[in-house]
């Protein structure tokens, strides 16, 4: 069994935290010693919610009515905006290797505020494309990227645990914001709802982040000894990682949860309509989804720290595959929350594993650049999901039928990951072996 490197937090001010074996460090002690940076990670992931599909899609019916868009038309606009965000993220994401998280986060949040205001004032479909582009780039793209890149670099032996804690922000946003936005927009309208989102980012998130990261750990000041190497004891560049078999073997499975969950959340209004469910009742069950996502996140993070992230590959997709079959066949409302629980299990495990596997196999020196490619690919999958599924709906292929197809795809990928997991685990633990390209 591999013993991960011990955690050695690096402070710009004051002595480093005492080194402890990660398996013996209690969770509460770990949180106490690293509270400021972990809280910053939670804040970044939570604030990404305003650019996530499940939040934007709450305005879908209003947007479609305002611009006379079909499901395919709205999905096409969403796809265009999201593809633009993925292309930009490929270039901008690598800046996380050169600049402080605080600097990049404040710049991103400033743009994020403007995009929320643009969404509130959108008056033409072309403007809508650019508003979606900005929301997706800032929220789903950069805020998530900065949070998980920071956790992967700042923490070593407890990397999975740190990612799990930071990912709590995703669950907090998923649990609280949808029902809050639905209730708020019923009182003040969807456009003023986006104005409120801009105010929260500007007046709460930015000042709180500046306070938490007032003495941030700085990537520029890290010496080579403070970076954690990957396969072969090396620090891989993005080009080298892209020539390694593992990165491409992981992509079909890593992109599945984002494609599936984005498609499901994007069409949640449509889905509840064809099922005969009330949208407010449906989104009110999101806290259950978030709770299981949190539990799964911590469990997966612990497994990743102790046994390696690759050990989770054959299993973590199975719940979301089952969820799509349930959602496709469900008639009673209460099957909806059951499916959401299963999706939450995969989403929680996915956050912990993806946050751990890139630094584990490719090192931390160029982590921002490597993760930028992976996140851009994930954003791409979320871009094509609404477009493809919306077009299929317009062509008469119901979303319930599509859910069954997605469940079958996940089953095949899970079988494929059995071999990937075994091969990756062997290569990771063969000391002195040169990595294969």
Of 208, 43, 199, 69, give the one whose Cα is nearest residue 128: 69
The Cα 154–Cα 30 span in angstroms is 13
The token pair at 269 is 């209004």
With 90 as the cut, is the pLDDT of residue 111 above it?
Answer: yes
Q: Among 258-272, 344-358, 361-375, 380-394, which stretch is predicted with the lowest mean pLDDT?
A: 361-375
Instruction: Give the Cα-Cα-Cα angle 171, 172, 175 (nearest 5 degrees).
Output: 80
Question: What is the CB neighbour count within 10 angstroms for residue 301?
Answer: 28
Bridge partner list, 7: 20
The Cα 437–Cα 245 span in angstroms is 6
pTM, 2 dp: 0.67
The Cα 248–Cα 251 span in angstroms is 5
Contact 93, 376 (CB under 8 A): yes
Task: Give the single-character DSSP code of 435.
Answer: P
The tens digit of pLDDT for each residue in 249-307 reads 888 888 898 899 888 888 888 888 888 888 888 878 888 888 888 888 878 877 877 77
Model pLDDT, residue 156 = 65
With 50 as the cut, is the pLDDT of residue 321 above it?
Answer: yes
**Cα-flanking dihedrals φ and ψ of residue 381, to 5°?**
-65, -35
- Residue of higher predicted confidence among 246 and 231: 246
> Structural domains in the chain?
35-216+227-427 (1.20.1250.20)
Average pLDDT, the chain: 80
The Cα 325–Cα 351 span in angstroms is 22
One DSSP character per residue, 226-257 reads GSPP-GGG----HHHHHTSHHHHHHHHHHHHH
Strands of 43-198 (E only): list them: none
The Cα 216–Cα 220 span in angstroms is 11
Q: What's the mean pLDDT in 155-161?
A: 68
Query: 3-state secondary structure string, 317-330?
Result: CHHHHHHHHHHHHC
The token pair at 211 is 């306070």
Q: What's the mean pLDDT in 347-370?
A: 78
With 90 as the cut, is the pLDDT of residue 87 above it?
Answer: no
| CA atoms in the 13 A half-sphere facing the CB of 414 | 18
Model pLDDT, residue 405 = 94
Q: What's the mean pLDDT in 211-230?
A: 59
């Amino acid at each position: 069994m591999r013993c991960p490197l011990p955690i050695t937090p690096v402070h710009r001010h004051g002595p480093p935290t005492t080194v402890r074996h990660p398996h013996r460090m209690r969770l509460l002690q770990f949180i106490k010693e690293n509270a400021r940076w972990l809280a910053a990670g939670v804040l970044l992931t939570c604030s990404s919610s305003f650019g996530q599909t499940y939040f934007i899609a709450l305005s879908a019916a209003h947007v479609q009515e305002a611009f006379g868009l079909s499901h395919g038309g709205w999905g096409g606009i969403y796809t265009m905006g999201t593809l633009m965000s993925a292309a930009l993220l490929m270039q901008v994401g690598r800046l996380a290797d050169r600049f402080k998280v605080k600097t990049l986060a404040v710049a991103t949040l400033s743009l994020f505020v403007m995009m929320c205001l643009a969404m509130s004032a959108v008056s033409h479909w072309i403007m809508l494309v650019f508003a979606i582009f900005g929301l997706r780039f800032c929220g789903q793209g950069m805020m998530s990227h900065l949070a998980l890149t920071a956790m992967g670099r700042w923490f070593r032996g407890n990397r999975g645990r740190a990612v799990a804690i930071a990912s709590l922000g995703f669950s907090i946003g998923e649990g609280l914001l949808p029902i809050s936005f639905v209730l708020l927009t019923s009182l003040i309208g969807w456009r003023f709802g986006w104005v409120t989102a801009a105010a929260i980012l500007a007046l709460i998130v930015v000042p709180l982040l500046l306070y938490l990261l007032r003495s941030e750990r700085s990537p520029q000041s890290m010496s080579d000894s403070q970076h954690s190497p990957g396969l072969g004891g090396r620090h891989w560049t993005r080009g080298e990682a892209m020539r390694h078999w593992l990165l491409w073997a992981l992509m079909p499975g890593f992109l599945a949860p984002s494609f599936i969950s984005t498609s499901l959340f994007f069409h949640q209004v449509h889905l509840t309509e064809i099922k005969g469910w009330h949208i407010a009742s449906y989104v009110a069950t999101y806290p259950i989804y978030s709770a299981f996502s949190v539990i799964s996140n911590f469990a997966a993070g612990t497994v990743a720290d102790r046994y390696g992230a690759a050990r989770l590959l054959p299993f973590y997709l199975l719940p979301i595959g089952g969820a799509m079959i349930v959602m496709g066949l469900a008639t009673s409302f209460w099957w909806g929350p059951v499916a959401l629980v299963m999706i939450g299990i995969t989403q929680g495990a996915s956050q912990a594993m993806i946050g751990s596997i890139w630094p584990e196999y490719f090192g931390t020196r160029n982590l921002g650049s490597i993760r930028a490619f992976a996140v851009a690919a994930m954003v791409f999958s979320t871009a094509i999901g609404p477009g493809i599924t919306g077009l299929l709906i317009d062509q008469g292929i119901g979303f319930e039928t599509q859910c069954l197809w997605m469940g079958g795809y996940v089953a095949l990928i899970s079988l494929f990951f059995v071999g990937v997991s075994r091969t990756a685990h062997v290569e990771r633990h063969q000391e002195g072996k040169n990595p294969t390209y």
